[in-house]
Amino acid sequence: MQNFTYQNPVRIHFGKGEISKLQDEISSKQRVLLTYGGGSIKKNGVYKQVMDALAGREVYEFSGIEPNPHFETLMQAVKIAQEKKIDFLLAVGGGSVVDGTKFIAAAIDFNGDPWDILTKPAPLKSAVPLGCVLTLPATGSEMNGGAVITKASTKDKLFFIDPLVFPKFAILDPETTFSLSPRQTANGITDAFVHVLEQYLTYPAAASIQDRFSEGILLTLIEEGEKVLKHPNDYEVRANIMWAATMALNGLIGAGVPQDWTTHMLGHEITALFGLDHGQTLAIVIPAVMKFQAHKKREKILQYAERVLNIHEQNPEKAIAKAIAKTREFFTMLGVKTYLNEYGINADAIPKIIVQLEKHGMTALGEHGNIDLIASAEILRLALNA
C-alpha cells in the first residue's frame, strides 16, 4: 500500500426527512444564497422542504445552473453573492449544482480572473462555506473537494480540487431521487461505477481493504442498478445507490492506491465538444481503455472478472475479453450506449478531441503516465463502433 494522508470533513445527514436538519446546520444570522438548476426541485417538492427548513433566515436564490455548469452562468451568481454579502451557499440539486456552487464559493473573494481557479491550480486562500442537499447520486461531489466547470465560449471543461470547497455538510435523502428519469438514474450509476473502476483497475498495490471496498461498491451498483429501473420508488434500492455513489468518490477507496483518470479526461472533452451527458461518455470510453491497457491492467482486470463479474475462465485472454464484454453489457442493461457512433460521432471527431486534450495538457494520462496523444487517439478509435 502506498503512503497516504486522508481527511474527509463532510458531515453527512442520510435518510428520509433529513432536509429538516438545515435548521441546525445554518444559523439564523447567516445570509444564504440558495443555488439550484433548471427547476426539478420545484416539481419534486425538495424546494419546499428546503424553504420550510430555512424559515426565518435571509435567503436569496440563484437558479438556472445547467448540467456541466458554465463559468459564464456561475459568474452571474458570484456577482449577486458579492452584492448581497452572502456568507453561506446552499446547493440543492445534482453534481452540476454542487460543483457550480463550489466554484462560486471559491470565486467570491478570488483575487484576479476567476477562470484561473481552473487553469492555474494554486491553492485557494479562502472560500465562502457551502453545504448541499443532493438530489442525484453520481459524482461524489457532495463529499469531495473537487468541481468540474465548463467555459461554454471555448468548450473547455476543466476541474479544480481544493480542501476549502469541501461542503460543510451534505444532506442525502434517497426519496429526493425518486423523480429522476431512467436516463439520469442510469447516468449516475454509470458515473459511480466508473469512479470505482478508475481507482481499482490499475495494478496491484497490496491494498486489500481498498480492493474489497471497491468490489463491494461495484457489486452493489450492479445489483441495485438492475432493480432500480423496474422499481424506481423503492426506498432501499435508492438508498443503496445513493450511498454507493458517495463512497465511490470521497477519497476512501482511492487512498494508498494508483489511479487512472484517462476515461474521465477523454469523457470531459467529448461532453464539451459534442454535448453528451457525463455518464454517457464514460460508458463509451472505459471499455476502450480496458482493451487498450489490457496488458498493463492484466492482474486487476482478472481480479475484477472473478470477484465482481463472476467470470471463472482459465484462459486469461478470454477472461479479460469477457470482463470487457460484461462491463459493456451492464451499461447496455442500464440503457446507456457504449460506442461513439451510436451518438452519430465518427472518426472525424478524433482529431478535434486530440486538439483539446493537448490544449488542456492531458498528454501523459493513466497510472503509468503512458497515455499520450497517440494512445488517446487509439483508445478513441476503439470506442468508435462495434
What residues make contact with ligand NZQ under the rule CB under 6 A? 37-41, 44, 67-68, 93-97, 99, 135-136, 138-141, 144, 146-148, 176-177, 179-180, 184, 187-188, 191, 249, 264, 278
To ligand NZQ, the closest distance from the beta carbon of 27 in angstroms equals 26
Q: Which is nearer to Zn ion, 271 or 376 (CB)?
A: 271
The three cell numbers of residue 275 are: 454535448
164 and 124 Cβ atoms separated by less than 8 Å? yes
Query: Which partner in Zn ion, ligand NZQ, none is near 135 (CB below 5 to 8 A by kind)?
Result: ligand NZQ
**Contact of 347 with 337, CB cutoff 8 Å:** no
From the list ligand NZQ, Zn ion, none, partner contacted by residue 259 (C-beta under 5 to 8 A by kind): none
Closer residue to ligand NZQ in complex, CB, 200/319? 200
For residues 213-241, b (16+ Cβ closer than 10 Å) or e, as one string? bbbebbebbbebbeebeeebeeeebbbbb
Q: Which is nearer to Zn ion, 18 or 191 (by Cβ)? A: 191
Q: In this structure, are residues 125 and 116 in contact, taking their beta carbons and an 8 Å threshold?
A: no
Picked from ligand NZQ, Zn ion, none, the partner binding residue 222 (CB below 5 to 8 A depending on kind) is none
Whose CB is nearest to Zn ion? 191
Q: Between residues 44 and 259, which has the closer beta carbon with respect to ligand NZQ?
A: 44
The set of cell numbers assigned to 321 is 475479453
User: Whole-angstrom Cα distance, residue 209 to residue 147?
Assistant: 27
- Asked if residue 340 lies in contact with residue 349, where contact means CB atoms within 8 angstroms, the answer is yes
CB of 149 to ligand NZQ, least distance (A): 8
Binding mask 124-163 for Zn ion (x = CB under 5 A): ----------------------------------------
At closest approach, how far in Å is the CB of 278 from ligand NZQ?
Answer: 4
CB of 96 to ligand NZQ, least distance (A): 3
The residues near 241 (Cβ < 8 Å, ≥ 6 apart) are 137, 174, 177, 185, 188, 189, 192, 220, 221, 224, 225, 228
Instruction: Categorise residue 357: left if φ over 0, alpha if ψ from -120 to 50, beta otherwise.
Output: alpha
Residue among 99, 191, 198, 367 that touches Zn ion (CB under 5 A): 191
- Torsion (CA) 102, 218, 321, 365 in degrees, nearest 10: 30
Chain centroid, CA 48 distance in Å: 26
CB contact set of 42 (below 8 Å; sequence gap of 6+): none
Residue 16, class by beta-carbon neighbours within 10 Å (0-12 exposed, 13-18 middle, 19+ buried)?
exposed
Q: How far is the CB of 195 from Zn ion (least distance, A)?
A: 6
Closer to ligand NZQ at the Cβ: 172 or 324? 172
| The one segment of 191-199, 212-220, 233-241, 316-324 that binds Zn ion by CB under 5 A | 191-199
Residue closer to ligand NZQ (CB basis): 197 or 345: 197
Q: Looking at beta carbons only, is 36 or 320 nearer to ligand NZQ? A: 36
Binding site for Zn ion (CB under 5 A): 191
